[in-house]
């Protein structure tokens, strides 16, 4: 069975740094990645992400703005606890919005499974304009390449770990020439 990874850029391009995940996905899609890695700019399409997660990815890396109180442009890698998800109220699932927790819960409610989720997040600069703005702030724009490096490292580690697991499943008595 082939190990599959989904890189999901999420965010709203009309809300400044919220577009971080979208920008990272667009740049990653122009890079050479392993065949079993799919990069998608989901924007704010939560239902599309939910259906993609139903495809059985071994690892999903969400890329998003993640306000946690550090300096704008700070990159985080977060592994959320999906064990205790509550089923969403169907009214909470927005066809034109993105709430990752609701998306994960929706996948679970449809009988799917989010095997492993990592979030590569970036601390956004506060949005001061009431009506929003297009374009990333300078510190967040400067963090895009760092996020790509983090994601490429996560991909390499995931495939290396998967190869080690596959090798550990070879019977110990097997030899190179096929005799036992």
46-84 per-position pLDDT tens digit: 889 999 999 989 999 999 999 999 999 999 999 988 776
Choose among 38, 52, 75: nearest CA to 155. Answer: 38
pLDDT tens sequence across 76-106: 999 988 776 565 555 555 656 678 888 888 8
Choose among 7, 98, 21, 104: nearest CA to 58. Answer: 7
- Give whole-number Cα distances, 116 to 5, 36, 58, 69, in Å: 10, 16, 6, 25
Given this model, what pLDDT does residue 131 score?
64
Given this model, what pLDDT does residue 168 score?
42
Given this model, what pLDDT does residue 129 score?
63
Given this model, what pLDDT does residue 177 score?
40
- C-alpha span between 15 and 160 (Å, rounded): 37
CATH number for domain 5-168, candidates 3.40.50.1450, 3.40.1390.20, 3.40.50.150, 3.30.930.10:
3.40.50.1450
Given this model, what pLDDT does residue 59 score?
94
Contact criterion met (CB below 8 Å) for 63 and 7:
yes
Choose among 23, 3, 2, 1: nearest CA to 12. Answer: 23
Residues 6+ apart with CB under 8 A from 117: 59, 60, 61, 62, 79, 80, 82, 104
Given this model, what pLDDT does residue 41 score?
96
Most confident of the ranges 36-40, 110-114, 163-167: 36-40
Domain extent listing, the chain: 5-168
Tokens for 18? 């919220």
Q: For 2-38, what is the HEC assignment?
A: CCCEEEEEECCCCEHHHHHHHHHHHHHCCCCCCCCEE
- C-alpha span between 53 and 37 (Å, rounded): 13
Given this model, what pLDDT does residue 81 score?
80
What average pLDDT does the structure give for the chain?
83
- In this structure, what DSSP letter does residue 110 have? T
Confidence check: pLDDT of 171 > 50: no
Confidence check: pLDDT of 20 > 50: yes
């Amino acid at each position: 069975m082939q190990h599959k990874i989904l890189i999901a850029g999420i965010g709203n391009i009309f809300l400044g740094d919220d577009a971080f995940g979208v920008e990272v996905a667009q740049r990653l899609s122009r890079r050479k990645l392993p065949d079993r890695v799919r990069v998608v700019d989901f924007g704010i399409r939560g239902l599309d992400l939910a259906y993609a997660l139903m495809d059985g990815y071994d690892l999903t890396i969400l890329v998003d703005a993640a306000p946690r109180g550090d300096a704008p442009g700070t990159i985080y890698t977060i592994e959320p606890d999906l064990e205790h998800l509550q089923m969403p109220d169907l009214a909470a699932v927005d066809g034109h919005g993105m709430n990752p927790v609701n998306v994960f819960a929706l996948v679970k409610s449809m009988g799917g499974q989010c095997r492993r989720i990592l979030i590569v997040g970036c601390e956004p600069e506060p949005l001061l304009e009431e009506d929003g703005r297009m374009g990333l702030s300078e510190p967040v724009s400067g963090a895009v390449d760092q996020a790509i490096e983090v994601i490429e490292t996560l991909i390499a580690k995931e495939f290396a770990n998967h190869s080690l697991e596959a090798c550990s499943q070879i019977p110990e008595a097997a030899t190179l020439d096929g005799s036992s």
